[in-house]
Structure 1
């Protein structure tokens, strides 16, 4: 039993980097055109966004919907926003949703690594 628990812990410890790597691939395909290394009129950079205040970057003009949100970009908030952007922040300019939960989780894991 103890061996099984250690094996499970090892698998879980390795899962986050794998998910982040998958998220990097998804990000390159789906997000990078609007979210680059620097903020542009198309979208804010996502470097350092994890844990930061929602709509808190000073180098991007956020929609009223996002400006009205309180809190930080937690895993839960990022997941909700990616699942249904307009449902999370009515009036948001981000129109592309990520309907697949596993893809959203991988993207959130990747965004968490951006510093």
Structure 2
């Protein structure tokens, strides 16, 4: 039986919001994005999810490149840091009917992800 290396387990715990570390840099967010978000949110929109390139500052109601849920289409405003944080914390509370089922409960993890999302131009 082989066991995963400790760094792999620590990275997974951080990505799931279970570790006490303080991720605060775009590099941390990039690593977390790769572990937690990349499957559904790639460089191009897919049936699994929209691309998040350019999401920071964009219209919450969505763009033409993805069939957004009625919950997001009904939202007004832009994806500010606060809006991204609220959505990541509780997607269904932020936009009832959204198809995003994965929440990011850890505030430090969300902050790192938001910092990274702002680099995606």
- With the length of structure 2 as denominator, give the TM-score of the two structures: 0.79
Number of residue pairs the alignment of both structures matches: 98
The alpha carbon displacement at 1:56 in A equals 2.4
2:62 touches 2:72 (CA, 8 Å); kept in 1? no
Give the CA deviation at 1:19.
1.3
RMSD of aligned Cα (Å): 0.8
- What is the aligned partner in structure 1 of residue 73 from structure 2? 67
**Deviation per CA, 1:27-61, whole angstroms, max 9, x where unpaired?**
00000000000001110000011001013210100
Task: In structure 1, list runs of 5 or more residues that go unmatched.
Answer: 1-17
Structure 2 runs not aligned, ≥5 long? 1-23
User: Which runs of structure 1 show a deviation greater than 2 angstroms over 4 or more consecutive aligned residues?
Assistant: none
Using the size of structure 1 for normalisation, the TM-score is: 0.83
Q: Distance in 1 between matches of 2:63 and 2:51?
A: 9
